[in-house]
Structure 1
Amino acid sequence: MRAADPAPTTTGVPAARPAPGEPAPPAPGARPARPDAARWPDVARVPAASRARAAITRAVVRRALGGLPLRAEFAGAEPVGRGGPLLEVRDPAAFHARVGTGGLVGFGESYMAGEWDAPDPVAVLTVLAAHAADLVPVPLQRLRRLWALRHPHEERNTPDGSRANISRHYDLSNDLFALFLDDTLTYSSAVFRGFPAAWDRLAAAQHRKIDRLLDLAGVGAGTRLLEIGTGWGELALRAAARGAQVTSLTLSREQRALALDRVRAAGLGDRVAVELCDYREARGTYDAVVSVEMIEAVGAEFWPVYFRTLDERLVPGGRAAIQAITMPHERMLASRDTFTWIHKYVFPGGLIPSTRAVEEAVRDHTGLRLTRRDAFGGHYAETLRLWREHFTERADDVAALGFDETFRRLWTFYLAYSEAGFRAGYLDVQQYLFTKENPAP
């Protein structure tokens, strides 16, 4: 397996690679090394902020945190908050400058720069996620369009844009993902039998999730299955082992290469085809379609096209099983046009839908019928916890792959931020079954 070459992004942030021999990660609680300005220009540089803006930001931040069940400590100032998990701001001037100019993007970059930290970042971020709707005063929320960053035009999920967006995340390095995922290399929520979840049960929980989807779609011997979003091939392998004929689509060259290796190693090359193909370019008809956490990368303007593709590819009587992360509809509407830290550093072009948005897109643009929907957000929180803990435990191995300390803080924040969203109920995950009715006689 080969690590992907550093790829410059539309925001000027390349995939991070340190020089050989970079020192091991610092001890817990130590201030991280200064970010490399060439790799991380917007993290290395603290934005300029006027005195007035800085004063307003300090007042808004202290007001927002003061009413929350946490304790925020600012170097040289009185702590705020009603008590709870600790948020330690080591460099208040830089922290306020970033938040005042970049909002949540600045908040995440401040963590990457080591200007704030927390003994339990998930606990702090869970509190913030639970109060996301009222952290910013209502008058400032009304001015959101004036200060919120906008999506770069080149990150629209056109066919070319989708290829670039997917590559920036999934082509980072197969070896990186293998360090924190279990042996199934499944990068989506597992389904556990009970909590708390244990690492040695994660692979079985991932198979349980996959089997539930295949059962929903009615996949068995002879089924012609289309998978939209290959991952590293575990679902395709499991479907082929049932006797299905699988066509799996991906836009990641790195994922496709490893998925094909795994298919060949399993002796299932005659039952699984993995194609480097956009879902809009799919052809043929199938008895079933399965797509796991793919819709989040589609973009709202293309949701109708995505669901029409499912409809068009299914034969009459066919079934589509979809796993999707969701968020409350009102929060989706409030944030759908905002460029966030996740867009800039993790998933360019992405948007998490609401259950209402999914169901309206299917109703208005297809002939599919919603037959079943099951939510299991608590399982995703546990999945993310296990990934985050495993990633942290293997920090030296991540560094050995060529990912610098700023990247490791980025990835830790991403996993903690996501876990917090599910723990707070701000995010959920659903398994849907859509069916295509047989035409009337």
Structure 2
Amino acid sequence: MSSPSIDGTTPQSSDAASPAWADLSTVPTGLRSRILAAGVDRLFRRAARKLDVRVEYPDGTVIGSGKGSDILPRMIIRRPEAYVRRLGTHGLIGFGEAYMAGDWTSPDPAAVLTVFATKMANLVPRSLQRFRGTFVTRPPASERGSEENTRSNISRHYDLSNDLFELFLDETMTYSSALFTEPRSPAQQPARSSILVADHPNPPARWEQLAGAQQSKIDRLLDAAGVRRGTRLLEIGTGWGELCIRAAERGAIVRSVTLSSEQQELARRRVAAAGFADTVQIDLLDYRAVEGEYDAIVSVEMIEAVGHKYWQTYFEKIDSLLAPGGQVSLQAITMPHDRMLKTRNTYTWVQKYIFPGGFLPSAEAIESITARKTTMRVRERLSMGSHYAETLRLWQERFGSRRADALELGFDETFCRMWQFYLAYSEAGFRAGYIDVQQLVLDRGDILAKDILGRDTV
């Protein structure tokens, strides 16, 4: 079976029939698949006619609101029947799998996906949306964020290979949103929390700016948590050690926990090379097993891996570890609350192929859980979704330019298409505002624990 290259232009051999990609090797068949495919084909073509995208078919058909324009994002349907059968049978999982299999391609998949993400709520007619629950797949129990499953979930992504991540990350090895500019001050202070919006990176960020922007993001989180000389800092979710290093440079005593053996190994080496092996401890440990008391707790884009059934456990654990007067700073990818409620029991392409067990919270869910179940309150929120879009654009460009290196490492063409789709899909979500990323600051303030949990301590 042949398929286009990663840029969607040059056909070449495919490895989708490999055992590693069993769900891609066979296009859905049977009467049900044929009926669903016919319906999806009509819905897709009708929706595409209203979108600012150019959908091209092998027979020369072109669909889109500006179908004669060459400047619109191009979506090239190379195998129409396979495309609609996957989409009809497996929904949005099938949409991503169709890209992985080469059924559709694009020279700029992020641009195409941004168009779809912007109109996501209206792509399916309202009269059919009530049947959504009949067709969506539920997440498998084996991927829930329990202590039994979490190590495996994390390993499937973060233990792929440190060399793979080095292909597209900057020298700080930071795998989360950068912050390219300082946030502007809020026009007014809301009653419950200060809500800020980071200025949009303009002009577009350059690769040379990324490392500094990652360090700026880390420094803001450390500042928000009050990290200074002598601070006992807990980091939940190590990454590859950059936050540990920058905290240690301030004179903090750092403990960091991760469930990725690959991350632990490289983070320890980077910490030692920076001269902080005596003040930074990196443990292979589930957050639920952490003990002790810490003046500051920082967690960067880790809550997404917790799973909504365990958010209460996560925040209760942080609350139990936080010393009197301590502060918490989180960076979290979020989605609107109503969308979160509708999708929390849906199995997605990202969960199946990229982050098993993951699910994005809403800012409202975080505020509600912490208010009801802990002594902590959200005091400040910084929205910086446009910065993640820029971060992902740079990662995607870098990965695309080093595709040959990924193949040399042993990753095949299907993996490269999957990884490109993941980065493009994520960038599109932030560009469209479908998802956001926020830094949140929590503390206890003057709230008494006894008023919330019946305790006599602050």
> Do the two structures share a fold, i.e. TM-score over 0.5?
yes
Distance in 2 (alpha carbons) for counterparts of 1:260 and 1:58: 52
Distance in 1 (alpha carbons) for counterparts of 2:303 and 2:8: 37
Could you tell me which residue of structure 1 aligns to residue 188 of structure 2?
Answer: none
- For the 8 Å contact 1:73–1:87, the answer to whether it is kept is yes
Report how many residues are paired.
Answer: 418
Q: CA deviation at 1:77?
A: 6.3
Match of 2:18 among 37, 52, 56: 37
Could you tell me which residue of structure 2 aligns to residue 271 of structure 1?
Answer: 279
Q: Does 1:346 align with 2:351?
A: no
Deviations 1:241-277 (A, max 9, x none): 1000000010001100111111111121111000111
Distance verdict in 2 for CA 1:27–1:185, change over 3 Å: closer
Q: CA deviation at 1:373?
A: 0.6
Could you tell me which residue of structure 2 aligns to residue 201 of structure 1?
Answer: 209
TM-score by length of 1: 0.92
Secondary structure of the corresponding residue to residue 93 of structure 1: helix
Match of 1:137 among 125, 140, 145: 125
- For the 8 Å contact 1:316–1:437, the answer to whether it is kept is no
- For the 8 Å contact 2:37–2:89, the answer to whether it is kept is no
Distance in 1 (alpha carbons) for counterparts of 2:276 and 2:85: 55
Q: CA deviation at 1:165?
A: 0.4
Distance in 2 (alpha carbons) for counterparts of 1:384 and 1:72: 24
Q: CA deviation at 1:404?
A: 0.2
- For the 8 Å contact 1:315–1:436, the answer to whether it is kept is no
Q: CA deviation at 1:295?
A: 0.6
Secondary structure of the corresponding residue to residue 311 of structure 2: helix
Distance in 1 (alpha carbons) for counterparts of 2:322 and 2:315: 11
Structure 1: gaps (5+ residues): 1-23
Q: CA deviation at 1:437?
A: 3.5
AA aligned to 1:388 is Q
- For the 8 Å contact 1:49–1:100, the answer to whether it is kept is no
Q: CA deviation at 1:131?
A: 1.0
Match of 2:149 among 156, 161, 167: 161
Secondary structure of the corresponding residue to residue 331 of structure 2: strand
Distance verdict in 2 for CA 1:100–1:131, change over 3 Å: same
AA aligned to 1:80 is I
Instruction: Provide runs of 4+ in structure 1 moved above 3 Å.
Output: 24-28, 437-441
Secondary structure of the corresponding residue to residue 357 of structure 1: helix
Could you tell me which residue of structure 1 aligns to residue 260 of structure 2?
Answer: 252
TM-score by length of 2: 0.89
Distance in 2 (alpha carbons) for counterparts of 1:237 and 1:49: 56
Could you tell me which residue of structure 2 aligns to residue 112 of structure 1?
Answer: 100
Could you tell me which residue of structure 2 aligns to residue 72 of structure 1?
Answer: 55
Match of 1:368 among 365, 376, 385: 376
Q: CA deviation at 1:124?
A: 0.6
Match of 1:434 among 407, 432, 442: 442
Distance in 2 (alpha carbons) for counterparts of 1:394 and 1:134: 37
Q: CA deviation at 1:33?
A: 2.2
TM alignment of 1:25-424, pairs within 5 A = 29-34=9-14, 35-50=16-31, 51-76=34-59, 78-83=61-66, 84-193=72-181, 194-195=201-202, 196-424=204-432
Distance verdict in 2 for CA 1:226–1:102, change over 3 Å: same
Q: CA deviation at 1:331?
A: 1.4
Could you tell me which residue of structure 1 aligns to residue 184 of structure 2?
Answer: none
Identity of aligned residues (%): 54
AA aligned to 1:48 is T
Distance verdict in 2 for CA 1:26–1:123, change over 3 Å: closer
Deviations 1:80-106 (A, max 9, x none): 220232211010000010000001110
Could you tell me which residue of structure 2 aligns to residue 11 of structure 1?
Answer: none
Deviations 1:305-336 (A, max 9, x none): 11111111101110000000111111111211
Distance in 1 (alpha carbons) for counterparts of 2:45 and 2:315: 44
